[in-house]
Amino acid sequence: MKLRKDFQENRSPYYLSFVIAVTIIILVKDIHRGEFWFSDAPRHAMDGVFILDFIRDFPILHFVDYIAQYYTKYPALSIGYYPPLFALVEAGFFALFGVSVVSARLTVLFFALIAVTFWFKLIRQIFNEKIALYSSILFITTPFIVKWAKSAMLEMPSLAMIILSVYLFYNFIERDKPRYGFYTVLSVSASVYTKQTSIFILLTFFLYFILTKNYKRMMSKDVILLSLSLFLLISPLVFLTLRYGQMNIAQSIGGISAQSRLLFLKPWLFYPRALSEAFTIPTMMLCLLSIFLIFIRKDYKAAVLFIAWIFGFYLTFSYLRVKDSRYIYFWLPPYALFAALILNEISWKIKKIPVAPLLLMMLCVYQFVLAIQTRIPLVQGYEEAARYIVDKGEPRVFFQGSGLGNGNFVFYIRKLDKERRMIIFRGDKLLASSSVFSKYLLVEYAKNMDDTYKLLEAYGTRYFVIEEESDFNINAYKMLRQALESDHFTLEKKIKLYNEDSANKNKMILIYRMNGDIPETREDIHIRLPIIGSEIRVPLKTLPNFYTPADDKISILRESFRKNK
């Protein structure tokens, strides 16, 4: 009786607990299933492992040297192309629960709980607890949201920081809580340090001031000072991106000139089309009906913040050159809210039963069923290949495969090799190199079969692991296969590679062994860092007993950077 009375008087904690429970149930299901299925995911995981190793080793006096050695041993890092905040949090989960795919996915679950918690709090403040409940459930049960929240990707972490930023911004501006201005700056910085594209939220805030005609507040002293503070906090990331992230900038903004891009219609239709595929049809219908009724009645004052969010995303991402349906992720929460606002817009009853709550309950149950059934594509085979190599006790291994493959293989080698003695040589760094894409800024170092044999012998590697059909029509990689099929090598093991997301689900991982004695190795390894566009030189002898400080390598690195400016 007491519990019932407490529930009737203060339902919000119970509603929020229910939302959190639904989130955990959906995202924990199948959390052990398979390996990383998207090519960026194992790199995000390796970033977390790198930060964990860095903190444990703490090579503060030789950090450049340490990074160079680490990348040489485990060439699957993405820090520099992506900001470090997610990896920093992920390192904490790796420290607590061990290095694994599950730990990486638990990190995303942690961010998902932040997202639903502050989304519920925000909607409850602006509307009421029932709309907060329904919009939160519709948001977290959307299959598109679930798919990427089950992966070790940056979409949910970025969205969580964006939602937190919007919550703090609203409390700062509309509820006159000065300390929330400082928190807003920190949260926006955190969102940008999670993924650079989160910067669109600043345009959302600007549009909110414009739509509410709150120009005086926008130009107030505290807002200006906070804006300057934000700029100072994100300026290191801006500098590093401008200095070393030219590929990232070119991919996102480069190409068509800014003036001419505004005139093309096709880029501005991409995300509206993608939105129709991200939501379930019933949710989209309720959303459109609510938006129609709100604007017909001109009762959109409470929804202005979310209208600004919609236009802030649309203007930013439609302008950017790169188009990816994944970015719809940042656009979905406001639409989940508008679907829930049908509670305010329809007061019809059938036999004294309110229609709107009934529709929303049915829709939430429908989406929950879809969410429970949503599974990320199953990938298996890379861990088995890594375990086979580690069990052989060889200190070095050569790997050539897809973008998904080299990230997974490197991650599992690092996971299984507790003493960190193994070195992984990637064919798409040594035989040829490119930047992000298989043929972008492509340089082939093996021009003929003699070059190929010399490169394969130079690093003292007995085992060579390659995927079937992952050459991207590049000659250097084709010659590698010809060499491995010669009498100098023996095909020792075939491992079934299952990729549910691939047209050819059942491929093989081929493990070759070099016959005879391993040739004497060169002392230096030459690895190209595609983000920086430079070449580093790391003596091979320092790598097995990782980590070995050596000041001379730092000077070589700096000299190399100067040469490649």
Measured at the CA of 115, the angle between CA 114 and CA 116, to 5 degrees, comes to 100
Rounded CA-CA distance 206/309 in Å is 10
> Which pLDDT score is estimated for 526?
64
Three-state DSSP string of 449-476? HHHHHHHHHHCCCCEEEEECCCCCCCHH
Length in residues, the chain:
565
> Which pLDDT score is estimated for 276?
83
Q: Quick check: bond before 547 cis, omega within 30?
A: yes
> Which pLDDT score is estimated for 145?
97
pTM over 0.85: yes
DSSP 264-317: -SHHHHHHHHHHHHHS-HHHHHHHHHHHHHHHHHT--STTHHHHHHHHHHHHHH
- Which tens digits make up the pLDDT trace of 253-290? 544 444 445 546 677 888 998 998 888 999 999 999 99
Rounded CA-CA distance 364/375 in Å is 19
Q: For residue 285, report the phi and psi dihedrals to the nearest 5 degrees.
A: -65, -45
- Which tens digits make up the pLDDT trace of 456-508? 888 889 999 999 877 778 899 999 999 999 999 999 999 999 998 877 777 89
Regions of the chain where pLDDT drops below 70: 1-9, 243-265, 436-437, 439-440, 522-535, 548-565
Q: How many other C-beta atoms can be found within 10 angstroms of the C-beta atom of residue 207?
A: 19
> Which pLDDT score is estimated for 256?
44
Q: What does DSSP assign to residue 79? A: B
Rounded CA-CA distance 93/61 in Å is 26
**Neighbouring C-alpha atoms within 13 Å toward the C-beta of 92:** 9
| C-alpha distances out from residue 336 to 123, 135, 429, Å | 11, 5, 44
Name the token pair of 66: 């340490």
Assess contact for 399 and 382: CB atoms under 8 A. Answer: no
